């Protein structure tokens, strides 16, 4: 398992007494301080705007004592939040940033040391009132802590190198009032007890990319295909395996360089990979034949971990769209029928610390003397105990989809976004607790499905493309001239088992603001757990979102803000239910 830590801003109260320099002594103690207030904000979804403020205060008459001198040995601050999006991040506070405040305590500033922790203030009054305030801002440095949405607890541990550590806990066993609990804010005030936070992550670490040389780095599960020599991308949230070159798998796994295993990070329960494979589409019947896969950045510099695959264009026989089209009596366009193109393909798989999605950057370059026009997209095979969901169509495998009306587009980070810009696979049975998503920002994208493989064509009405009624929409100039290469960006997301979690990740990536639809699903007056709640916008004919109910029958899926929405709860696919009602309010 591989994890990443996250950041915060906190305040807390302590008493002080000094100890020698150096590493933490064997008799160092962990002291708990009563928290007062914890506020974590992510107002825009952008890391640079995140902020965490905290305060812990105890006394007068607190029994806590300060052991350690951060002006000599420095300190570290660990921040933990648990909930829907767990976080665990440790910040180094070098000695050069600390100043003594006489005998009253210490102040830290990042003015000379940089880093996300902007300020820490630790003081002790003569009456025994201990106070610690901390401010962390994402604009100052790497900050991966976000509101846990929905959060259960948060806290921190301040360690004075060569001395003691000091804990404050908010929520959870410490109690307190949670007054803000969303993707934008997590606020806890007035805990009634003290304690130390316990991370629900397995091993806090940064994003990591590496070749798999030991079995423990493989991802287990019903569809686990990884082998030694494949490549791992992981952070504290998700983990994926990328197929090494030369490994021939069935289906669309003819060549290497593709995602073949994926799961959330799990601590005390078995992994449950239920994803088959995803590979780039070029000109409908071609893909990339990756002859080289390498680690471009291993993540040790606290930045994104990157795995790169490279190789030429090649034919993909498993999905033979021309035969399917011929079977319906139509003529497949000759320019896309098993045509080998003079194209080289480079794909970067990029995983940021704390992200729940792998960013996929595919660059195609014309290596020939003539211009090339082509279609682009991806082949996606969920394959496991997952169920395909497409906005506007809901669950199932429609042969083709059509585009969503432009009037349904919403404002986003890129201007205006098509809300049908994702494909999701929700987990069932052995895949319960994991879902997968394909996300892009190319409006007017549609897809066809054949042999269990779903094939989105970026920016195309797939029906017209398959019968020759649409021209290729990606153009490459001749090799060596400007415009002989282009890059397309997609995202592979790993969610909590629901379609809603995939759309949450999409909203995060694209900056789509949401509201919340709340309600309870009942059958015969009793709450229904694990029902699928489909959300239908007034302007759409089909479902745009799905979320499961909790054990008490309640559901609260975030939805893109529209003038009107309604919810329906179809019967669970694993059992029959005739008497089912959904009561929803916005």
Span 490-506, pLDDT tens digits? 999 999 898 988 998 99
Better-predicted residue by pLDDT, 514 or 214: 214
The torsion defined by the Cα of 406, 409, 412 and 416, in degrees rounded to 10, comes to 10
CA angle 566, 557, 414 (to 5 degrees): 95
292-297 and 185-189: which strand pairing? Answer: unpaired
**pLDDT above 60 (res 558):** no
Least confident of 206-215, 447-456, 473-482, 540-549: 540-549
User: What percent of the chain lies above the pLDDT cut of 90?
Assistant: 49
Strand, helix or coil for residue 469: coil
User: What percent of the chain lies above the pLDDT cut of 70?
Assistant: 84
For tokens 């767990």, name the residue.
Answer: 86
Least confident of 193-202, 371-380, 393-402: 193-202
Better-predicted residue by pLDDT, 425 or 325: 425
Name the strand (E) or helix (H) holding 222: none
* Residue 471, both tokens: 């021209």
Q: 232-241 pLDDT, tens per residue?
A: 999 988 999 9
What is residue 560's predicted lDDT score, i.e. its pLDDT? 57
The residues pairing with 418 across neighbouring beta strands, listed in sequence order, are none
**pLDDT above 50 (res 582):** no
Closest CA to 113 of 99, 127, 129: 99
- What mean pLDDT is predicted for residues 543-571? 49
**pLDDT above 90 (res 191):** yes
Better-predicted residue by pLDDT, 7 or 146: 146
| Domain parsing of the chain, residue ranges | 30-189, 208-500, 513-585
Question: If you ran DSSP here, which 8-state letter would residue 432 be given?
Answer: T
Least confident of 32-41, 110-119, 159-168, 531-540: 531-540
Q: How far apart are CA 74 and CA 56, in angstroms?
A: 20
Contact 183, 79 (CB under 8 A): no
What is residue 559's predicted lDDT score, i.e. its pLDDT? 57
Phi, psi of 93 (to 5 degrees): -120, 90
What does the longest C-alpha to C-alpha distance in the chain come to? 90
CA angle 405, 410, 412 (to 5 degrees): 135
- What mean pLDDT is predicted for residues 538-552? 55
- What mean pLDDT is predicted for residues 83-90? 82
Contact 242, 350 (CB under 8 A): no
- What mean pLDDT is predicted for residues 243-256? 84
Closest CA to 469 of 388, 525, 571, 400: 400
Strand, helix or coil for residue 463: helix
For tokens 């098509």, name the residue.
Answer: 418
For tokens 């490279």, name the residue.
Answer: 310
Confidence of residue 146 (pLDDT cuts 50, 70, 90): confident
What is residue 538's predicted lDDT score, i.e. its pLDDT? 57
Please state whether the peptide bond connecting residue 150 to the residue before it is cis, i.e. omega within 30 degrees of 0. yes
Strand, helix or coil for residue 503: helix
For tokens 């939040």, name the residue.
Answer: 81
All residues at 6 or more sequence positions from 486 whose CB lies less than 8 Å from its CB, including other chains: 363, 364, 474, 476
What is residue 570's predicted lDDT score, i.e. its pLDDT? 38
All residues at 6 or more sequence positions from 358 whose CB lies less than 8 Å from its CB, including other chains: 233, 238, 240, 259, 349, 350, 351, 491, 492, 493
The torsion defined by the Cα of 197, 199, 200 and 202, in degrees rounded to 10, comes to -160
How many other CB atoms are found less than 10 A from the CB of residue 202?
16
Q: 404-461 pLDDT, tens per residue?
A: 888 889 888 888 999 999 999 999 888 888 999 999 999 999 999 988 899 999 999 9
The torsion defined by the Cα of 211, 212, 214 and 216, in degrees rounded to 10, comes to 130
What is residue 74's predicted lDDT score, i.e. its pLDDT? 94
Mean pLDDT of the residues in the chain: 83
Q: How far is CA 43 from CA 54, 138, 513, in A?
A: 17, 12, 10
* Residue 562, both tokens: 């529209």
User: What architecture is the 208-500 domain classified under in CATH?
Assistant: Distorted Sandwich (2.70)
The residues pairing with 170 across neighbouring beta strands, listed in sequence order, are 154
Closest CA to 491 of 302, 274, 262: 262
Q: Distance from first CA to last CA of the chain, Å, rounded?
A: 39
Q: How far is CA 174 from CA 35, 82, 292, in A?
A: 9, 13, 52
What is residue 579's predicted lDDT score, i.e. its pLDDT? 28
Better-predicted residue by pLDDT, 515 or 228: 228
* Residue 83, both tokens: 């909930």
What is residue 537's predicted lDDT score, i.e. its pLDDT? 62
Q: How far apart are CA 125 and CA 163, in angstroms?
A: 20
- What mean pLDDT is predicted for residues 15-35? 60
Least confident of 254-268, 341-355, 563-577: 563-577
Decide: residue 360, CB within 10 A, 0-12 exposed, 13-18 middle, 19+ buried: buried
Q: How far apart are CA 157 and CA 197, in angstroms?
A: 8
What is residue 469's predicted lDDT score, i.e. its pLDDT? 87
- What mean pLDDT is predicted for residues 551-566? 48
């Amino acid at each position: 398992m591989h994890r990443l830590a996250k950041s915060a801003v906190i305040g807390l109260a302590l008493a002080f007494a000094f100890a020698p320099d150096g590493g933490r002594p064997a008799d160092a103690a962990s002291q708990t301080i009563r928290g007062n207030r914890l506020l974590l904000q992510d107002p825009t979804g952008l890391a640079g705007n995140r902020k965490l403020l905290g305060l812990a205060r105890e006394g007068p008459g607190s029994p806590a004592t300060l052991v350690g001198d951060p002006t000599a040995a420095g300190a570290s601050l660990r921040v933990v939040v648990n909930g829907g999006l767990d976080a665990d991040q440790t910040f180094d506070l070098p000695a050069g940033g600390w100043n003594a405040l006489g005998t009253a305590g210490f102040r830290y500033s990042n003015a000379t040391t940089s880093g996300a922790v902007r300020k820490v203030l630790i003081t002790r009054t003569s009456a025994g009132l201990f106070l610690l305030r901390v401010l962390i801002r994402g604009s100052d440095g790497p900050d991966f802590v976000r509101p846990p949405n929905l959060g259960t607890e948060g806290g921190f541990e301040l360690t004075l190198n060569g001395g003691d550590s000091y804990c404050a806990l908010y929520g959870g066993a410490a109690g307190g009032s949670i007054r803000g609990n969303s993707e934008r804010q997590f606020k806890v005030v007035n805990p009634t007890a003290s304690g130390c936070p316990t991370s629900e992550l397995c091993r806090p670490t940064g994003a990591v990319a590496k070749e798999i040389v030991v079995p423990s780095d493989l991802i287990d599960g019903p569809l686990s295909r990884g082998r030694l020599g494949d490549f791992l991308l992981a952070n504290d949230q998700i983990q994926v395996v990328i197929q090494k070159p030369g490994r021939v798998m069935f289906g669309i796994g003819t060549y290497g360089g593709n995602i073949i295993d994926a799961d959330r990070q799990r601590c005390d329960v078995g992994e449950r990979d239920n994803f088959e494979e995803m590979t780039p589409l070029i000109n409908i019947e071609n893909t990339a034949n990756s002859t080289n896969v390498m680690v471009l950045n291993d993540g040790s510099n606290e930045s994104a971990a990157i795995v790169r695959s490279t190789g030429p264009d090649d034919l993909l026989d498993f999905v033979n769209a021309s035969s399917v089209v011929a079977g319906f009596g139509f003529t497949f366009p000759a320019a896309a029928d098993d045509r080998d193109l003079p194209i080289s393909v480079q794909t970067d798989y990029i995983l940021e610390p704390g992200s729940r999605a792998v960013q996929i950057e595919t660059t195609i370059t014309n290596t020939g003397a003539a211009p090339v026009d082509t279609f682009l997209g991806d082949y996606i095979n969920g394959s496991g105990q997952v169920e395909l969901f497409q906005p506007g169509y809901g669950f199932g495998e429609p042969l083709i989809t059509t585009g969503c009306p432009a009037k349904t587009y919403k404002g986003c980070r890129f201007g205006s976004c098509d809300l049908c810009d994702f494909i999701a696979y929700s987990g069932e049975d052995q895949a319960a607790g994991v879902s997968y998503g394909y996300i892009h920002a190319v409006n007017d994208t549609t897809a066809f499905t054949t042999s269990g493989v779903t094939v989105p064509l970026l920016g195309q009405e797939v029906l017209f493309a398959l019968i020759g009624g649409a021209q290729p929409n990606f153009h490459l100039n001749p090799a060596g001239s400007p415009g002989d290469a282009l890059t397309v960006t997609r995202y592979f997301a790993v969610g909590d088992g629901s379609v809603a979690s995939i759309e949450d990740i999409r909203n995060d990536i694209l900056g789509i603001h949401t509201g919340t639809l709340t309600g309870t699903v009942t059958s015969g007056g009793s709450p229904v757990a694990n029902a699928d709640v489909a959300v239908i916008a007034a302007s759409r004919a089909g479902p745009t979102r799905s979320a499961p109910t909790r054990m008490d029958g309640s559901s609260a899926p975030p939805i893109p803000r529209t003038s009107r929405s309604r919810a329906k709860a179809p019967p669970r696919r694993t059992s029959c239910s005739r008497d089912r009602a959904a009561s929803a309010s916005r």
